[in-house]
Amino acid sequence: MDDLTSLRSTATAFADEHAMTVVPAVPARDIGPEVCLEPDVLDLPGFLTVAHQLSARALYLQSETFQPDSDEVSDPPARLLKHRGKPCRIEVAFVAGGVVHLWEHTAAWYTEWEGLARSQPSDDALDDEPRWLSDGDRERLTAPAVEALLAMPQFRAAKPGGARQRFARSHLPADLDERVHWDATRAACDRADELTQLQYADIDERYDELAAQLLTDQIYQRAGSVGARKQAAEHFLIAWADGLVPPSLIRDELYARSQRLAKAAARPPALY
């Protein structure tokens, strides 16, 4: 989709139809819980539908216009210059439940222009970094950042979603390129989710065994409330699953099995 004008019209028309206030700005990033969505994950109509389903009252909308500098690209192609004055990037956002939801799209022709701009030699001898990172550079910088996050016990033990994303953002190098920062956060969270699924894949066959072990756990034994015992069960599973926090359903099922096992052990033997 290279006609970003139509995307903007789609967003404003949706806002009018559902009595949403259009705010000509986008919320600041990295200051709280947020979800960043890309067009290959969810298209704009789908994003707007989610905003409506979550009862968002305001739609943040901002677009960037293509105004190329005369010295930005040497001998620029006329087919790209014809887009002068047109929207080249659009950002849409809404806030629901204290979480900022962001959607962004960049026109393919502008991505091509950015590639040409990246290839231009820099006159600033003090600037050792390219003005724009290539896809290869982004992948090269992202990979070690992802591995570093996955190696952190606190990251693996963080709750999926906002908590894990916030931890990633606050523990990646501050001078990391913004797009690499986002790529690494998303890739590390996705990889952690995959590892969690693999680690807990066969849990159904091991509940009784793990429940028996949990009953001998000192932290679990000292817990005096349901909430404290569930938290102890979660910590027990984290240690068992190489530091990966369990889904709530698995934690609750292990707690229920341990309670049932404890009651069975306390029941006096039947007399025959």
Q: Tens-digit pLDDT profile for the chain (272 aa)?
A: 567 888 989 999 999 999 999 999 887 666 667 888 778 778 899 999 999 999 999 999 998 898 887 677 878 888 888 988 888 889 999 998 888 898 988 888 888 887 787 666 655 544 544 456 677 788 888 899 999 999 999 998 888 877 788 888 888 887 788 778 888 888 999 999 999 999 999 899 999 999 999 999 999 999 888 888 998 999 999 999 989 999 889 999 999 999 999 898 877 665 55
Say which DSSP state 30 is in: S
The first and second tokens of residue 164, run together, are 């894990």
The first and second tokens of residue 204, run together, are 């159904």
Q: Of 37, 44, 56, whose CA–CA distance to 11 is shortest?
A: 44
Q: What global pTM score does this model have?
A: 0.48
Contact 7, 1 (CB under 8 A): yes
Instruction: Give phi and psi for 257, each to the nearest 5.
Output: -65, -40
C-beta atoms surrounding 78 within 10 Å: 6
For residue 242, give the amino acid letter. D
Cα distance between residue 246 and residue 238, in whole Å: 7
**What is the residue extent of each domain of the chain?**
1-124, 133-199, 203-265
Cα distance between residue 235 and residue 219, in whole Å: 9
Cα distance between residue 134 and residue 140, in whole Å: 10
The first and second tokens of residue 86, run together, are 């047109």
Give 168-198 as a 3 state SS string: HHHHCCCCCCHHHHHHHHHHHHHHHHHHHHH
The first and second tokens of residue 111, run together, are 């991505």
Dump the DSSP string for 136-161: HHHHHHHHHHHHHHHT-HHHHHSPTT
